[in-house]
Structure 1
Amino acid sequence: MKNLRLSTLLTATVLSLTLASCHKDKQVNLVTTPVTDGFYVLNQGGFNDNNSSLSAYSYASKQVVADIFLSANGRGLGDTGNDIEIYGSKMYIVVNVSSTIEVVDPNTAKSIKQIKMFNGTVAREPRDVVFYKGNAYVTSYDGTVAVIDTASLAVTKYITVGRNPEQLTVANGKIYVANSGGLDYPNYDNTVSVIDPVSATVTKTLTVVVNPQNVTADANGNVYVLSAGNYSTIQSSLEVIDDNADVVKSQTNFDAAAFTVIGSNAYYITSLGKVGVYNTKTQSISNAAFISDGTAITAPFAITSDASTGEVFVTDAKDYVSNGQVFVFDKTGKKEYAITVGINPGRIALLKK
């Protein structure tokens, strides 16, 4: 489960945000106005602590807005923010335990609509969101993928997939869903559902290594599935699916807890807290130690990259109960700067630069 096994260890804490900078010429100051040219950080907060928050950083001013969602809306995000993505003129924030999706203006963080994800009175517990041709697709732990019209913001259908689906991705006009079964420990799921977005049905179910959590795709016809295994006798693995034939074409043991593809590189975080680079053209690790300047990150939690600049963003959860940080590296692995954000910074959404 994406970050959940860490989140369940968290306890209540006080949200007090301080700002840090790694270079004298990149001083960061606390401000109270929105940003439109940087990135957002979704901080999970503590599991069941109801303290998720949204930090915003401006490239132009080199300033951070602490919990911009709270200041823009007069209320908090809720419990355990799990995903954040920008599509068109809206930003979508998936809040797992609160079972809501906050749709906001990406320039102001002002709420446009809160979509409640419940089956009657039972929380569906949404996890991840992707977009395709005017629809948002959202996985939920109740074994469904919700289809949301991004114009009306109405849920038009729920598609039944495997148990406790985590991430999903779009490739070759299809939606691939990693079904972890993570809430049924030790009886994990081991499938990937393939959805046809036209008919909104599952057209194929692929068998993979147990506990698949991360799924992403490159531009060369490959879908990558990162399975966590059972944390004892079955190792974590990386499987590659041919998105034309929808077959698993390779599988290898692979130590990683996060995997994100940007261009021909995939950046990942190992169980030992190292950041590595996987080459999607050669299908092999090209750099097992991406950070080249000795920068130490206490507890790497999430990773992403900006394709336009080559910059790599790594979040640091620290001790999982205190405010975390985001480290920004250039494409050679040298630290450019770092900022302090909220508790358990789990996902980043990039604005224009």
Structure 2
Amino acid sequence: MKPFKQNYLIGLLLAVGILGACKKNDAIVIEPEIPKAERRGLYVLNEGIMNSNNSTLTYYNYENHALIADQFSTVNGRGLGDTGNDIKLYGSKMYIVVNVSSTLEIINHKTGLSIKKIDLKDGTTGRLPRYIVFNKNKAYISSYDGTIAVLDTASLAIEKYIKVGRNPEQMAIANGKLYVANSGGLDYPNYDNTVSVVDLATMTEIKKITVVENPGGVVADQYGDVYVLSTGNYETVQSSLATIDSKTDLVKTQVDFSGGSMVVNGDFMYVTATGSKIKVFNTKTEKMEKENFISDGTKFTYMYGIAVDELTGEVFVTDAKDFITSGEVFCFDKDGNKKYSIKTGLLPNNIVFVNK
């Protein structure tokens, strides 16, 4: 008998034995496969020109390559507001921070329909909200009036305001704490130079960490480090990148570093830089991985924002062009080669990816 037939016979006898040993009421459990998430498309928040009330929300459909210039106004019959500054997806809802209008627009990410519009004001005075982050069914919104609004994402109600430093900008969460860049940007040339640390258990500021003046960008990695990008004073103080250990809240390193927008994906931090470059920093080894991620020589007029699709590794760069005409978003594969680009509204700054 050939080996193939021997193996077949042995396998058949084993299968019969196993089935015979099972009782009729014993179910054979087969774990279902978890379907992989598939992208339906992406939204681009276009901030528009300040005081012109012309923020828009561009939608690009991956399936049919259709582009809707302003999804929000198309389905809601009204404009988004003045100076859309940040957009994030949390659960089934998208949250859009509109700076000059001092509003938070909460919409259905599948349809673009508005669910609720929240005024972020102190009496009749706008707080000038800037950025939003999420943690355990709470949203935290920084505002230029020196506060962080705490929003319950179930009731969609503001629960409290936390006092921090002057003109807070971006935020990141690490080790149960919220790190807030206090820029003091409205007090030129008297900038702030601190990062507020908020204990999320007590919802109070517990300390301030000193960094180079005019901090704005903040991101956190999966190892507990928080990166703070400071612009300096544009004259005598150089821009800088500080690394804060969230376990000790001490500044580990602080180096001269010129960069724009930052985003972390896995072990890598991508930072836009002058000369149409994207620097790649390895957060695990704490070393610069690449001086320029772009490998095909693509140039931009004015790099404005950056995003990474964690499902595909694709890197997206927004180009504000001349700040008075329509912008553009470029998509690169994980090796830095341009795949395609799409036209957007004025000053595209942030991107959100949505699933089917």
TM-score, normalised by the number of residues in structure 2: 0.88
The total of aligned residue pairs comes to 318
Is 1:321 the counterpart of 2:328 in the alignment?
A: no
Deviations 1:261-280 (A, max 9, x none): 11111111114442221111
Structure 1 unaligned segments of length 5 or more: list them.
1-35
Q: In structure 2, what is the equivalent of residue 341 of structure 1?
A: 344
Q: In structure 1, what is the equivalent of residue 267 of structure 2?
A: 264
Deviations 1:25-60 (A, max 9, x none): xxxxxxxxxxx7111100010011100000011111
User: Please, which of 117, 133, 145 is the counterpart of residue 130 of structure 1?
Assistant: 133
Q: In structure 2, what is the equivalent of residue 75 of structure 1?
A: 78
Is 1:216 the counterpart of 2:219 in the alignment?
A: yes
Equivalent runs, 1:115-154 vs 2, <5 Å:
115-154=118-157
Offset at 1:147? 0.2
User: Please, which of 213, 229, 240 is the counterpart of residue 237 of structure 1?
Assistant: 240
Deviations 1:322-351 (A, max 9, x none): 000000000110000000010000111111
Q: 2:44 touches 2:348 (CA, 8 Å); kept in 1?
A: yes
SS of 1:38 mapped into structure 2: strand
Whole-angstrom CA distance in 2 between matches of 1:272 and 1:186 = 27
Offset at 1:296? 1.5
Q: In structure 2, what is the equivalent of residue 15 of structure 1?
A: none
When Rg is computed on C-alpha atoms for both structures, the one with the higher figure is: 2
RMSD after superposition: 1.0
Whole-angstrom CA distance in 1 between matches of 2:182 and 2:265 = 23
SS of 1:72 mapped into structure 2: helix
Offset at 1:256? 0.1
Whole-angstrom CA distance in 2 between matches of 1:144 and 1:271 = 32
Offset at 1:284? 2.3
Q: In structure 1, what is the equivalent of residue 25 of structure 2?
A: none
- Worse-matched range after superposition: 130-139 or 285-294: 285-294
Whole-angstrom CA distance in 1 between matches of 2:210 and 2:299 = 38
Deviations 1:161-200 (A, max 9, x none): 0000000111111111000000000000001111111211
SS of 2:74 mapped into structure 1: helix
User: Please, which of 108, 113, 138 is the counterpart of residue 110 of structure 1?
Assistant: 113
Whole-angstrom CA distance in 2 between matches of 1:93 and 1:303 = 17
User: Please, which of 42, 46, 52 is the counterpart of residue 55 of structure 2?
Assistant: 52
Whole-angstrom CA distance in 2 between matches of 1:120 and 1:271 = 41
User: Please, which of 96, 99, 106 is the counterpart of residue 93 of structure 1?
Assistant: 96
Deviations 1:270-324 (A, max 9, x none): 1444222111122222111211111121111000101221100000001101000
Deviations 1:231-285 (A, max 9, x none): 1111111100001111111111111011111111111111444222111122222
Letter in 1 for 2:82: D
Whole-angstrom CA distance in 2 between matches of 1:271 and 1:294 = 14
Letter in 2 for 1:165: P
Letter in 2 for 1:282: T
SS of 1:37 mapped into structure 2: strand
Letter in 2 for 1:123: G
SS of 1:162 mapped into structure 2: coil
Equivalent runs, 1:159-178 vs 2, <5 Å:
159-178=162-181
Letter in 1 for 2:272: I
SS of 2:73 mapped into structure 1: helix
Letter in 2 for 1:218: D
Whole-angstrom CA distance in 2 between matches of 1:94 and 1:273 = 27
Whole-angstrom CA distance in 2 between matches of 1:194 and 1:327 = 35
Q: 2:306 touches 2:317 (CA, 8 Å); kept in 1?
A: yes
Whole-angstrom CA distance in 2 between matches of 1:196 and 1:326 = 37
Equivalent runs, 1:287-326 vs 2, <5 Å:
287-326=290-329
Q: In structure 1, what is the equivalent of residue 12 of structure 2?
A: none
User: Please, which of 203, 206, 210 is the counterpart of residue 209 of structure 2?
Assistant: 206
Deviations 1:52-94 (A, max 9, x none): 0000111111221110000111000111000000111111000
Is 1:247 the counterpart of 2:255 in the alignment?
A: no
TM-score, normalised by the number of residues in structure 1: 0.89
SS of 2:339 mapped into structure 1: strand
